[in-house]
Structure 1
Amino acid sequence: MKRLLAISAVAGLALVTGCTAGTESPGPAPTSATADDPVTIEFWHGFTADSELKAFEDTLAGFKQKFPWITVKATKAIQDDQILQAVRGGNPPDVALSFTTDSVAQFCKAGIFQDLNPYLTAGKIDPATLFPKVIAEYTQYEGKRCVMPMLADTYGLYYNKKLMKGQQPPKTLSELADLTKKLTVRDADGTIKVAGFVPSSQMYENAPIHTGVMVGATWTNPDGTSAIGSDPAWKSLMKWQKDLTDWFGYDKLEKFRKSFGDEWSADNPFQKGKVAMAIDGEWRNAMIAADAPDLDYGTAPLPVADDQAARYGAGFIAGTVIGIPRGAKHQEAAWELVKYLTTDTDALVTLSNAIRNVPSTLPALRSPDLKKDPNFQTFLDVFANPNSSTLPAHINSVFNQQTLQEAQIAWESGRKTDLDALLADVDKKINEKLKLTAGG
């Protein structure tokens, strides 16, 4: 399940980067843990939902059967900032999981997680043939593969069939805007009761990292500098969002949005029938099954720009990553767990079926044991689409995203009215930050 990196984690990462770049210890040569050396390893992860925790218990039970001499002590609800602080303090877990790929470049560059290439070489594991191309790319930076993928996330459009009233899911942004207006229900005073779609960039998964793929937008130039201001796709997307926001009325839309329950709870507005269509990840299928089993809904790829109809079916891809933090006490046993959770087909299928994330290896994707109901199949198809993409690895990935989203909020709220100047300022901030960190 994708969760956003907390601001405190970004600050922590900056501190670790500044203190540790280039100081990673190579550690001992890769070997396998053996029955002659019983060991208990610490595993930190961020999962919290009961269904997720049960899935992990079942998966770790399978690991215990295969490696009975390794005991795994799992700690839930861990966020990136806690991992970073533990690395700084010299007391990291043996294995740590992160919900975001945004910081992989920093993790690898600063040595927060150890380079796993020696283990892969020793185990004759070829990431290029085991993982789909996008996944193989987002788990490494400058030749260092410091994390492995453990399930993947793809994004699509969820739609409430009852609220759609027989309408088919939109394939273009124009169709999405028209259908949004048809399906929106207001009180006499204009108060929104049901929204066809909430266009605000502040709406849950509507961040530019997910919506940019709808227009094929580019984040960076080959040299790492910002391409946001020079790529007309961003301007097109932001104008589309603002036009629809203005149709609602920004203040009325914000009042409606702020009335929503927590995204990860049973009070999610899509599950409550307050929103007819919503951008979300594949994991929402499992949450609907648990919290709103009677909801009649469907899934579809994200709509695309009207002049890019051939790209329909594509989406954004990211995922959970896992690795061995610098300073881990039991590195060989830790590698066995990392390898199991990221390469064992049965383990990946068990987790995918339980929490409805996309399997991250080609064998797991082909497994006959993988549950493939129509609403989940949508995300498997998006995952396989050659036009699907991820955010290129960048040492300032989180900063770049935050800078653009802050600009989007200023634009859609009407606080900024010159879009060209606003996006030029985004480029300026991103490029200045790059100059400060490029050699760090």
Structure 2
Amino acid sequence: MRRPLVIPAAAAAGLALLTACTAGTESSGPPKVGASATDQTPVTIEFWHGFSADSELKAFEDTLAGFNQKFPWITVKATKAIQDDQIIQSVRGGNPPDVALSFTTDSVAEFCKAGIFQDLNPYLTASKIDGTALFPKVIDEYTQYDGKRCVLPMLADAYGLYYNKKLMQGNEPPKTLSELADLAKKLTVKNAKGDLEVAGFMPISQMYENSPIHTGVMVGAKWTNPDGTSAIGSDPQWKKLMTWQKDLTDWFGYDKIEKFRKSFGDEWSADNPFHKGKVAMAIDGEWRVAMLADSAPDLDYGTAPFPVADDQPERYGAGFITGTVIGIPKGAKHAEAAWELVKYLTTDTDALVTLSNAIRNVPSTLPALQSPNLKKDEHFQTFLDVFANPNSTTLPAHLNSVFNQQALQEAQIKWESGRADDLDALLADVDKRIDDKLKLTAGG
């Protein structure tokens, strides 16, 4: 599942440094694929991942048990709650794990260019695996950059709208932004002091999964032009979305809605406000289905696609697509054994279905999507449909993907909080920041 995007400046600098100093340092020649199967000398490999919820960790234990049965001489030492910056620093420091998992595709372009993960194309070729035939097109594309496939997909994420049926008071889930705004106002409950007790919907960009990378899909907004420069200021859809968000935020009162947001529990815990009935509708990923089953089993809720711009009804059913990616870091001590684990977690149908059924992520291979063992309840089916919708999108691969998202979200916070009053100028400044950064990166 996708975690909040946080890559510190020090880690970003590490990416730049690695880009400059790692060219040509990968080992030459084909990998010794299958060596671990014929040698069978006991080996322990380190596996870093970002999962932390109890249900996720249990799912991983069950899946790794299947790997251990197949490769009993390979012991997997798993470390949880790892973030991208820790992976970057481990490679930079010369002490990386053997296998590492990232919750986002945001840094794939930089990971590939900087050589943080090894190119897996030689491993796939040696194992006679055709990625273009195994993975759906959008997934196949976001694990590659500039001819390198430095990571493989391990489950995918699709985003949609969750709604509390009791709080909805019989209303159907909204299909347009105007319907969402009207219903958000109707379902909001305030106390005598005007403070929020229940929000129909939280429109601000700082609310958990409301970042522009997710909400931009509701209006079909573009991030970049064909040459990689920013399209944010010139695409009227961003202005449409941010105006809609600001209007609804102003209805709540920014200070009131921020006070309410800061009272919420951790997004990844049972204290999530949707679990507690404090918000009627929320943007979230498919993994919330498993979390609700685990920590709020009595909650009566539904799932639906994102509402879309009123003038784009044909786009209803689309959503944002991303996923978890996994690879072998540069400098891994046991690359052959590491490949066996990566291959198992990304291509084995039973392993992917086991994980999908447990943590409710979308399977990332065509055989797993079609498996009769894949559980498809009404809540989860919504996200399978979003995943299959031709209008669903992902973020285009870009060397400055992380920076671009941060630049836009910083502007959104200024706008919705009332600290900026000229939206055109604000978005033009976002374009300038992104394009200036692109010039520096391209010049490096």
**TM-score strictly above 0.5:** yes
Query: Structure 1 residue 291 and structure 2 residue 292: aligned?
Result: no
Residues 65-95 of structure 1, C-alpha deviation per residue, up to 9 Å, x if partnerless? 1122222111112111111111011111111
Provide the rounded CA distance (Å) in 2 between the counterparts of 1:24 and 1:163.
58
Structure 2 distance, partners of 1:53, 1:19, is 32
Asked if the contact 1:4/1:99 (under 8 Å) is kept, the reply is: no
The C-alpha deviation readout for 1:172-193, integer Å capped at 9, x for no partner, is 0011011111111112332111
| 1:28 CA displacement | 4.9
**With structure 1 as the length reference, what TM-score do the two structures score?**
0.98
Residue 213 (str. 1) matches residue 213 (str. 2): no
Q: What is the root-mean-square deviation in Å for CA atoms of aligned residues?
A: 1.1
Give 2:404's match in structure 1, choosing from 400, 405, 412: 400
CA distance in 2, matches of 1:439, 1:147: 25
Counterpart mapping for 1:5-404 below 5 A: 5-8=5-8, 11-21=10-20, 22-30=23-31, 31-32=33-34, 33-38=36-41, 39-404=43-408
The CA distance in 2 between the partners of 1:109 and 1:396, in whole Å, is 12
Q: After the TM superposition, list the runs of 4 or more consecutive aligned residues in structure 1 that deviate by more than 3 angstroms.
A: none
Is contact 1:46-1:79 (8 Å) kept? yes
CA deviation profile, 1:99-151 (whole Å, cap 9, x unmatched): 11100000000000010011111122111111111111110111110000000
Superposed CA deviations along residues 328-363 of structure 1, whole A, max 9, x for unmatched, are: 111111111101100000000000111111100111
Give how far 1:20 is off: 4.0
Q: CA deviation at 1:14?
A: 2.5
Distance 1:234 1:89 in 2: 40
In structure 2, relative to structure 1, the CA distance for the partners of 1:27 and 1:340 (3 Å cut) is farther
Shift, 1:383, TM fit: 0.4
| C-alpha distance in 1 between matches for 2:277 and 2:170 | 16
Alpha-carbon deviation of 1:63? Answer: 0.9
What's the counterpart of residue 3 of structure 1? Answer: 3
What is the deviation of 1:34?
Answer: 2.3
Residues 30 and 126 in structure 2, CA contact (< 8 A), matched pair in contact too: no
Range with greater deviation from structure 2 (160-169 or 17-26) = 17-26
Q: What is the aligned length?
A: 439
Q: Within 2, Cα distance between the matches of 1:70 and 1:82?
A: 24
**Matching residue's letter, 1:7:** I
* 2:7/2:402 contact within 8 Å kept: no
My pick for the range that moved more, 23-32 or 401-410, is 23-32
Q: Is the 8 A contact 1:139 1:149 kept in 2?
A: yes
Paired AA for residue 26 in structure 1:
S
Q: Any idea what SS the aligned residue of 1:220 has?
A: coil
Deviations 1:219-268 (A, max 9, x none): 00111100000000000000000010111111111111111111111111
TM-score relative to the length of structure 2: 0.97
Uncovered stretches (5+) of structure 1, i.e. residues with no partner = none
Matches of 2:55 and 2:28, distance apart in 1: 36
Deviation at 1:11, TM superposition (A): 2.9
C-alpha offsets along residues 1-47 of structure 1, whole Å, 9 cap, x if unaligned? 21123232x53132233234424413552221224242221111111
> For residues 55 and 188 of structure 2, what CA distance do their matches in structure 1 show?
33
Residue segments in structure 2 that go unaligned for 5+ positions in a row:
none
Q: Which moved more, 1:73-82 or 1:109-118?
A: 73-82
d(CA) in 1 for partners of 2:377 and 2:68? Answer: 30
